[in-house]
Amino acid sequence: MDKKEFEQFKSKSIAELEGALMSFRDNLHVLKFDLSLGKVKNIREIRKVKKVIAKLLTLKNSATAIKT
C-alpha cells in the first residue's frame, strides 16, 4: 500500500474500513493456504498483506478513539 492509498483509507468510514479489513484478511487466508500447498511464488506478498492489515487496524482504532 503506497501513501496515496493510505490517504484514501483515512477518509473512509469505520464500516468501509471493516469491509477492507475483511477483504485483506480473506486474501491473507488464501495466501497462507496456497503457501501450504506450494502454490505461492512470492512469499513477500504475505508480509505486505499483514502490514496493510496492521495499518487498517490502526486507522480503525484511532477513528473509534476519536469518536468516543
Q: Is residue 39 part of a domain?
A: yes
Q: Is residue 26 part of a domain?
A: yes
Q: Average pLDDT, whole number, for the chain?
A: 91
Q: Is residue 63 part of a domain?
A: yes
Give the whole-angstrom CA distance, residue 32 versus residue 26: 10
Q: What is the pLDDT of residues 42-62, one digit of tens each?
A: 999 999 999 999 999 999 999
Q: pTM score, two decimals?
A: 0.88
Q: Is residue 5 part of a domain?
A: no
Q: Is residue 7 part of a domain?
A: no
Q: Is residue 33 part of a domain?
A: yes
Residue range(s) defining the domain that contains residue 48: 13-67
Q: Is residue 18 part of a domain?
A: yes
Could you count the other beta carbons within 10 Å of the beta carbon of residue 49?
19
Residue 41 φ then ψ, to 5°: -100, -30
Number of domains in the chain: 1
Q: Is residue 35 part of a domain?
A: yes
